[in-house]
Structure 1
Amino acid sequence: MIRVFKVKEQQKEATENAKGSPIKKQSVGELRLHKDISELNLPNGCKISFVNGKDDLMNFEVSIQPDEGYYLGGKFVFNFNAPSIYPHEAPKVKCKTKVYHPNIDLEGNVCLNILREDWKPVLNINTIIYGLFHLFTQPDHEDPLNQEAATVLRDNPKMFANSV
């Protein structure tokens, strides 16, 4: 029985070598990301791009151009880095664009509950993108990462509008 298994393994290797490079096995995270990306239904003003090519699904960028609110007319780019154990762990998301926002600090860290304590494996990339989009249409001063921006938004919305 072991001999049969060994022969089959050798045949498989020979077939892979004959075709060129061996087929890379995908991690569970890559398989899930492939599914998430194929099912994307992005809001207007959002785009996804694979800066390392389509072979690297674990790292990509999302650009958001809000169609209303304080950030109308702006373009904000986010880096997504999904761990190999995705969806059991949320992707790391950073804003590449400097922005004055209550939920995004000056280093680009994002305060979005579904990226932290409210993450569940049933959530997906589409959910995160909609969450980010929502931060631009309705910034949340009650759960801030940038305390100063949150205070200005809460106490003086007109001044906040002039600052963004």
Structure 2
Amino acid sequence: MIKLFSVKEKAKKDAAAANGKQQKTTAGELRVQKDISELDLPKNVSLRFPDGNDKIMNFEVTLKPDEGLYKGGAFLFSFAVPSGYPHDPPKVKCLTKVYHPNIDLEGNICLNILREDWKPVLTITAVIYGLNFLFLAPNADDPLNKEAAQMMQQSPAQFERLVAQSITRGCSIGGDYFPPCRGERSS
């Protein structure tokens, strides 16, 4: 698959040269090409390029947990990869409103490898696996949604019931409505 990207890149450069413009590929773009060409996604994860396959610095990932509390849900994430990648982490937002202790109502995600523990050796695959892990083992000790974390710690059965209800039917929790996000619905 690396050859596919290099062929595409050569075609892009040839087209740019024909137009009298030389398009420069950044180190970040080269690394993202490499990361994407080496992706080995689990069956519950899909990748999409809403701006076209040649706009690889912005893409979406849909996660459909197949076990745990969030099983049956479909969660959409946007990835915006900065030009300083891999030295700077990708900016990831959850576009699906979800009742989760580590994801706030604006879609911000509390995942250490997206912040203080980011290292240039980490890849897009590592981030996707990290997101997947958040749905398998939510962490109430490092919350962004403090109300969800408190419910998870103080009343685990109630927390599980609210998560299941929010995924299947949607529900209001603490004045905020969480629409259904079942995996069989298109994302």
TM-superposed CA distance for 1:43, in Å, is 1.9
Q: What is aligned with 1:138?
A: 137
Tell me whether 146-155 or 16-25 shows the greater mean CA deviation. 16-25
Matched AA of 1:96 = L
Distance 1:55-1:21 versus aligned 2 partners, 3 A rule: farther
Hey, what does 2:169 align to over in structure 1? none
Partner in structure 2 of residue 108 of structure 1: 107
Give 1:64 deviation, angstroms. Answer: 0.1
What pairs with 1:36-47 in structure 2 (closer than 5 Å)? Answer: 36-47=35-46
CA distance in 2, matches of 1:41, 1:33: 14
- What is the rounded CA distance, in whole Å, between the counterparts of 1:74 and 1:25 in structure 2? 40
Report deviation, 1:121: 0.3
Q: CA deviation at 1:157?
A: 1.2
In structure 1, give the amino acid aligned to 2:152. Answer: L
Q: CA deviation at 1:75?
A: 0.2
Cα 1:128–1:134 change in 2 (3 A) is same
Distance 1:17 1:64 in 2: 36
Q: CA deviation at 1:73?
A: 0.4
> What's the CA shift string for 1:38-96, capped at 9, x where partnerless?
00011220011000011111100000000011111000000000000100000100000
- 2:185 maps to which residue? none
1:122 Cα deviation from its structure 2 partner? 0.3
Question: Where do residues 51-130 of structure 1 align in structure 2 (5 Å cutoff)?
Answer: 51-130=50-129
- Equivalent pairs: percent with the same residue? 57
Given that 2:61 and 2:78 are in contact with CA atoms closer than 8 Å, whether structure 1 keeps it comes out as yes
* Map of 1:29 onto structure 2: 28
Give SS of 1:136's match.
helix
- Which structure 1 segments of 5+ residues have no match? 1-14
Aligned-partner Cα distance in 1 for 2:87–2:17: 37
2:152 is matched with 153
Report if the CA contact (8 A) 2:76-2:94 is conserved: yes
TM-score by length of 1: 0.87
Q: State the match for 1:48 in structure 2.
A: 47
Count of residues in correspondence between the two structures: 150
Unaligned runs of 5+ in 2: 1-13, 164-187
What letter is aligned with 2:102? Answer: N
Question: Residue 136 of structure 1: CA displacement?
Answer: 0.5
Which structure has the bigger radius of gyration? 1
TM-score by length of 2: 0.76
